[in-house]
Amino acid sequence: MRARDGLQHRENIIEACVIQARQPLTLPRMPVFANTLCRVRQGEKRLQWEDREMRAGPGHLILMPAGRELGISNLPGRHGHYSADAVTVPLPIMRGFSARYSQLILSSRSVSTTDLCVPLDTHTAQAWDQLLAAIHANAHPALRTHYAEAVLLSLCLSGHAGPLLTGRNDPLCERVQQLVMGSPERDWTVASIAHCLNLGESTLRRQLANEGDSFRNILEGVRLATALQLLQTTSRPVGEVAGACGYASASRFAVRFRARYGLSPRALRAAI
């Protein structure tokens, strides 16, 4: 996949992109909708989660579990740049891995950690390099899955995979998110989502409310997260990004983006 194309969501295919910055960039509230693995090439990444702060450089693998909202800072290194590879592992692939290695996962939990920035050992680093090579070579999805599972397996054996394997207990939220992520530009409504999920509108609203969420919150969260990714990984104009994420008005998009991330789309671009 070409880096300029950004990280496109395809439910059963593992993708990668490169995140770059020329200036320090802090995003205090970044929702994570798909399990993501990240390795810094240059600079440092800092994560704030609950009351913890974690730091990672090139010698770490960063785990960003789906369903979390993290504070993230990307800090350029001594050469004036920040650069990192990010790989998303879709939910169906995570579930397949969990089912295939359930006994190993259970046995490894006695030594499992909750760190999101874990040191890269030799086996995990080799598996990571093979995974990136397969993605960049546009390898068959089955091969990508194979190498991604090698990374997960290595993390599991070292007791570091715990944060990625913890259930979120909100399957309906996940299903709605997956639908919107596939086509964030679509004019989604409660009715259209309910139809796709074979649910009644009132049932959809009620079950999301029981999970502490709402259709409107999920829709905007996914759209803004997609916009953040496109602004960071492509050169598409801000107005085009707004349209690709379902916003008919670029100015309204900018207002919502600033409210969510604390800076405007143009300020974000200026830091990259």
Q: Tens place of pLDDT for every residue, the chain, 272 residues?
A: 333 344 445 567 899 999 999 999 999 888 888 899 999 999 999 999 878 899 999 999 999 988 788 999 999 998 889 999 999 998 889 888 988 888 777 776 545 567 899 999 999 999 999 999 999 999 999 999 999 999 999 999 888 888 888 655 557 888 898 889 888 999 999 999 999 888 899 999 999 999 889 999 999 999 999 999 999 999 999 999 999 999 999 999 999 999 999 999 999 999 88
Instruction: Say which residue the tokens 């593992």 belong to.
Output: 14
Q: 85: which strand partners?
A: 18, 39
Report yes or no: 255 and 233 within 8 Å, Cβ to Cβ: no
> Whole-angstrom Cα distance, residue 66 to residue 171?
12
- How far from 68 is each of 30, 150, 227, 260, CA to CA, in Å? 8, 24, 18, 15
Q: Is the pTM here over 0.85, yes or no?
A: no
> Whole-angstrom Cα distance, residue 130 to residue 144?
9
Domains and CATH numbers, the chain: 3-165 (2.60.120.810), 171-271 (1.10.10.60)
